[in-house]
Structure 1
Amino acid sequence: MTTILVTGGTGTLGRLVTERLAAAGHEVRVLSRHAHPHAVDLREGGPALDKALAGVETVVHCASSPRGGDEQAAEHLVDAARRAGVGHLVYISIVGVDRVPFGYYRSKLAVERRIEESGLGWTVLRTTQFHDLLFTLFAGLAKPPVLAVPAGVRDQPVEVAEVADRLAEYALAAPAGRVPDMGGPEVRSLDSLARAYVRATGRHRPVVNVPLFGKTYRAFRAGGHLTPERAVGKGTFEEYLGRRFGG
């Protein structure tokens, strides 16, 4: 039995990773800001983090926030993991962090580099966007009478449960460095995915394509966040919506 700590273990991905590792018979500690007995804000670190890592052999780092703080959190986690003698740090990243000049992606790339230079055994998996993220995006965009999406942008959403399966496998294996990217089964235009959302929710919103400007938009239009050669996921966005709405 391995003792494994999952950061962000109450989140969309971390919760599923925790369930899989526990079902496999391992001792799993969940670390998040509100998960007792290991309630820790990684951006602050401190003695509670050292306590949570005591005796841990593997860390699966799922905690992340587009609102900032990931680099500081990684610094604290890596330092504490070294003090605790952790043998393996597994990190979930995003396809395109090295190609798309989006602030959150740059932060994820910086965390990757920090982990690579940590001296710890490490594994980094990059995936495309989760279905849940697209759902949240479209729910926000559908509030006005018209659902407007960035023109010419495609996406390759992946099922979060499949990512959890893959992460759990890596957590139970030897450190592997940068492993092959994991993408969803289909590269789709954003407007076609938005129309699937509208149909499933019955929102009756026209979907319109709106051109945007800037380096980040151009990088997304160029497909810097896609990995069509690694379309290894199985679940489609329509299947996700069907489960969510009982269709």
Structure 2
Amino acid sequence: MTTILVTGGTGTLGRLVTERLRADGHAVRVLSRHTRPYAVDLREGGAGLDEALAGVESVVHCASSPRGGDEQAADRLTAAARRAGVAHLVYISIVGVDRVPFGYYKSKLAVERRVEESGLGWTLLRATQFHDLLATLFQGLARPPVMLVPGGVSDEPVEVSEVADRLAGLTLAAPAGRVPDMGGPEVRTLDSLARAYLRATGRRRPVANLPLFGRTYGAFRAGGHLAPDQAAGKVTFEEYLARRFGR
């Protein structure tokens, strides 16, 4: 039986990774800011991290925040993992972090570099956006009478449970470096995805494409965040919506 630590183990992805690994009979420690006995804030000092890593063979690093601090958290985690003799560090990143000059993506790319240079055995998986994230985005965009979406942008949403399965499998294998990206089953315009969300939630709104400007928007328009050649996911956005909203 392997002892594994999952950072961000109460989050959307980390919770599912934890469930998969425990179902396979492994001892999994969940590290998050408020979950005992391993309540550790990686962004604020990391007190208790050494105790959480004692005897751990593999770490799945799912903890992340668009509010900042990911680089400091990675520095603390990799240093403590070296002290603990961890054999394998698995990191989940985002497709396009090296092509889209978006602030959060830059932070994820910086963490990738830290993982690669950590001196630990490591595996890195990049995935496209989760269905849940798009649903949350559309929930906000649907509040006004007209739903405005960024014009000319497509997305390739992937089912989070499928990413969790992939991460769990990678964790139990040998360190593999950067593995092939994981995308959803379809590349779709945001316009079509927004209309699917409205149908599934029973809302009636006209959808309008709003052209935006700047390097980041240009990179999204160019598809820098897509992985059409690695469309490994099976669950479509409509299937996710039907399960979530029952329509």
Q: For residues 145 and 160 of structure 1, what CA distance do their matches in structure 2 show?
A: 30
Q: For residues 69 and 148 of structure 1, what CA distance do their matches in structure 2 show?
A: 31
Q: Map of 1:43-58 to 2, 5 A cutoff?
A: 43-58=43-58
TM score, norm. by length of structure 2: 0.99
Q: What residue number does 1:6 align with? A: 6
Q: For residues 66 and 142 of structure 2, what CA distance do their matches in structure 1 show?
A: 21
Q: What residue number does 1:63 align with? A: 63
Q: Map of 1:113-192 to 2, 5 A cutoff?
A: 113-192=113-192
Q: How many corresponding residue pairs?
A: 247
1:99 aligned onto 2:65: no
Q: For residues 235 and 48 of structure 1, what CA distance do their matches in structure 2 show?
A: 38
Q: What displacement does 1:55 show? A: 0.5
Q: For residues 149 and 161 of structure 1, what CA distance do their matches in structure 2 show?
A: 26
Q: For residues 213 and 74 of structure 1, what CA distance do their matches in structure 2 show?
A: 32
Give per-residue Cα distances to partners, 1:183-238, cap 9 Å, x unaligned.
Answer: 00000000000000000011211111000000000000000000101111100000
User: Does the residue aligned with 1:208 lie in a helix, a strand or coil?
Assistant: strand
Contact 2:40 2:47 in 1 (8 A): no
Identity of aligned residues (%): 82
Give per-residue Cα distances to partners, 1:79-120, cap 9 Å, x unaligned.
Answer: 110111100000000000000000000000000000000000
Structure 1 unmatched runs, 5+: none
Q: For residues 224 and 34 of structure 2, what CA distance do their matches in structure 1 show?
A: 35
Q: For residues 157 and 133 of structure 1, what CA distance do their matches in structure 2 show?
A: 9
Relative to structure 1, the CA distance from residue 63 to residue 46 in structure 2 (aligned partners, 3 Å threshold; closer, same or farther) is: closer
TM score, norm. by length of structure 1: 0.99
Q: What displacement does 1:65 show? A: 0.6
> After TM superposition, what 4+ stretches of structure 1 lie above 4 angstroms from structure 2?
none
Q: What displacement does 1:245 show? A: 1.2
Relative to structure 1, the CA distance from residue 194 to residue 32 in structure 2 (aligned partners, 3 Å threshold; closer, same or farther) is: same
1:241 aligned onto 2:241: yes
Q: What displacement does 1:63 show? A: 0.4
Q: What residue number does 1:85 align with? A: 85
Give per-residue Cα distances to partners, 1:118-152, cap 9 Å, x unaligned.
Answer: 00000000000000000000001111111100000
User: Does the residue aligned with 1:209 lie in a helix, a strand or coil?
Assistant: strand
Contact 1:44 1:76 in 2 (8 A): no
Q: How much is the aligned-residue C-alpha RMSD, in angstroms?
A: 0.6
